[in-house]
Structure 1
């Protein structure tokens, strides 16, 4: 998920001076792509990664210079050389990375905390940085899905005629370069069923960035002690949960109560929701019986998870999370154009 999410969670507790490092451009292949970021404190501690470990030490040294000068700078690493004298000691990533280092002053800290609030509320945010021809940072601007844009008032945004094919793509006009990125909130995973096999699923999903809600009618199972990485809990029988929960087309839902009648009740109302992902644990024939249909609709993932011949709860959890990530990435790719124009056109009005 977004590196910025982990950084925003921990930044309020940092009392040290920090530098935000962001990959703003990649030529060729690289371990991480545009938009990836890392926070470096003045004592060298880091949150996030920009590479497989080959750049972090040097970036940390450069961050000290940025703090001393109190000035943002762009540095470039060429990872194409496979000799031991090259960056990454022969990693051969075959890419060139441009990384922006920014001292997190009071103004930037306020902006980051505002971004955190918006992401926690489920907002997407269009982020644009404007650079001069020699890549000096001039201004920044943010536009949330709802609410007022914020950032540098002097920035005038004229959307390019051609839509950028990926986040972080540089768009160059006669006067400057633009870095464009859309921050997206954590996707929500709702797990129905608080059995033992739900524990690794919740843990792995939370680890990779999902905000997890666990639902069950048994409070002795559905609690923080059993699921320390879950964000929310909902206790109730299927007819009660239907009234407690609201769903969006960005939600991921897994049905795994191991109780046929409960699953049937839950699936009867879940199939009517506009969800990003609906998965049902168990054989496809069982899902068809739950639906009282001969065939399972394509909108329902059954059996849930990628076919990796998984054995045991942990491997099944991995297969499910992998499938959800695939759906998430494909959805982001398909929605990027719509999100981009919906957000950017608000500024140009």
Structure 2
């Protein structure tokens, strides 16, 4: 539900009762991933989506029923070969939906309200990283109960069962939160690996990933716009104050006038950060890329012709950059779309970033036999022993 936290946080502030339906597991070709949500308030207003339209009507009615009787429900939707008009996913996938009422006086409401307050608005609005853990399957009296886990491992709320269950879920939810993942856990009722298992959905809410665009050129302006559209926190960095201005980049979250490599040395990046080097000037590119290719970021791309790329590689090798490090560099930046305008070029770059992030091939889907939806790199099971990421 944290993907619609902004609006739900407003609903809580207005004292509205609502029910929220959350995708907890998917199979086959499903349009939405675990954590996607649809919510319905007491007046019948609906926000969000769990399937892109296939089963919204049926889920809407489940939410209305949960608001009336106060009972959470777990429902499975899938394509029916026997009845093509049955409620289901015509794409052939299967999704499990947990519907949880969040009414005034419900034990789950304070925990959900705190989770929504943490997630709402992201970092720019004072939001912070948090994980919301809810019991999906198990004893009826536990289903839908929630625990809010913070980055330091502290937690609010509880499942009202064995205290070991709260501690175990909090520890494993923190591991998911550190990785920015949403997934399910299989845990015994007392928090052990044995006994009757409970399925727990953990939704992670983290600040938006960063995109840092180096080079305040016209192409950068278009890339800033598409970066914001994709949900990135976008920074523009250029050493030239005449170009790096708010007038030229009104949609950027930050504008930094500084030598690119010096800024990169002092700013925070992580495994979700995309670095886009559009300067195509050796005096900026070489010291910047020498550093960027040694950082644990998601993507490093550099603009320039193939001749520029070859010269850049030569200079980087002279600076001690290894072949393994150079293999991380996406240059010339972007996918082959035949792009010419700044907007087309920005689309090309963004397409490569998405393909790299999700494990896509970048080839046309028409006539291909590759999956339409890619899950991207899987987490290391050794890090979260009981994790099942959907």
The TM-score bracket by the shorter chain reads 0.7 to 0.9
Per the TM alignment, residue 282 of structure 1 is displaced from its structure 2 partner at its CA by: 1.8
Distance 2:250 2:19 in 1: 31
* Map of 1:347 onto structure 2: none
* Map of 1:65 onto structure 2: 65
Residue 40 of structure 1 aligns to a residue whose secondary structure is: strand
Contact 2:381 2:387 (8 Å CA) reproduced: no
* Map of 1:127 onto structure 2: 133
Per the TM alignment, residue 31 of structure 1 is displaced from its structure 2 partner at its CA by: 1.4
Residue deviations 1:144-191, cap 9 Å, x none? 4433133315353358xxxx9x95457376534313435252221111
* Map of 1:141 onto structure 2: 147
Shift in alpha-carbon separation, 1:272–1:342, aligned structure 2, 3 A: farther
Residue deviations 1:185-214, cap 9 Å, x none? 222111112322123322222222222222
* Map of 1:340 onto structure 2: 384
Aligned to 1:171, which of 186, 191, 198?
Answer: 186
Aligned to 1:152, which of 136, 158, 183?
Answer: 158
1:101 aligns with 2:99: yes
1:276 aligns with 2:298: yes
Residue 276 of structure 2 aligns to a residue whose secondary structure is: strand
Shift in alpha-carbon separation, 1:286–1:147, aligned structure 2, 3 A: same
Residue 95 of structure 2 aligns to a residue whose secondary structure is: strand
For residues 325-336 of structure 1, what are the structure 2 equivalents within 5 Å?
325-329=354-358, 333-336=377-380
For residues 188-227 of structure 1, what are the structure 2 equivalents within 5 Å?
188-219=210-241, 221-227=243-249
Contact 2:273 2:297 (8 Å CA) reproduced: yes
Distance 1:73 1:317 in 2: 44
Contact 1:130 1:138 (8 Å CA) reproduced: yes
* Map of 2:118 onto structure 1: 114
* Map of 2:256 onto structure 1: 234
Task: Using structure 2 for the length normalisation, give the TM-score.
Answer: 0.70
Distance 1:343 1:76 in 2: 21
Larger displacement relative to structure 2 (48-57 or 137-146): 137-146
Shift in alpha-carbon separation, 1:170–1:339, aligned structure 2, 3 A: closer
Shift in alpha-carbon separation, 1:245–1:315, aligned structure 2, 3 A: same
Distance 1:154 1:4 in 2: 23
Distance 1:307 1:196 in 2: 20
Residue 38 of structure 2 aligns to a residue whose secondary structure is: strand
Task: Using structure 1 for the length normalisation, give the TM-score.
Answer: 0.77
Residue 377 of structure 2 aligns to a residue whose secondary structure is: helix
Shift in alpha-carbon separation, 1:189–1:234, aligned structure 2, 3 A: same
RMSD: 3.9
* Map of 1:36 onto structure 2: 36
Residues paired across the two proteins, number = 336
Larger displacement relative to structure 2 (290-299 or 102-111): 290-299
Per the TM alignment, residue 63 of structure 1 is displaced from its structure 2 partner at its CA by: 2.0
Shift in alpha-carbon separation, 1:215–1:256, aligned structure 2, 3 A: same
Distance 1:57 1:226 in 2: 45
Contact 2:227 2:350 (8 Å CA) reproduced: yes
Shift in alpha-carbon separation, 1:27–1:293, aligned structure 2, 3 A: closer
Contact 1:23 1:97 (8 Å CA) reproduced: yes
Unaligned runs of at least 5 residues, structure 1: 345-349
Shift in alpha-carbon separation, 1:215–1:319, aligned structure 2, 3 A: same
Shift in alpha-carbon separation, 1:107–1:123, aligned structure 2, 3 A: closer
Distance 1:127 1:118 in 2: 19
Residue 197 of structure 1 aligns to a residue whose secondary structure is: helix
Distance 2:205 2:8 in 1: 18
Per the TM alignment, residue 112 of structure 1 is displaced from its structure 2 partner at its CA by: 2.6
Per the TM alignment, residue 62 of structure 1 is displaced from its structure 2 partner at its CA by: 2.7
Distance 1:19 1:342 in 2: 29
Per the TM alignment, residue 297 of structure 1 is displaced from its structure 2 partner at its CA by: 1.0
Residue 221 of structure 2 aligns to a residue whose secondary structure is: helix
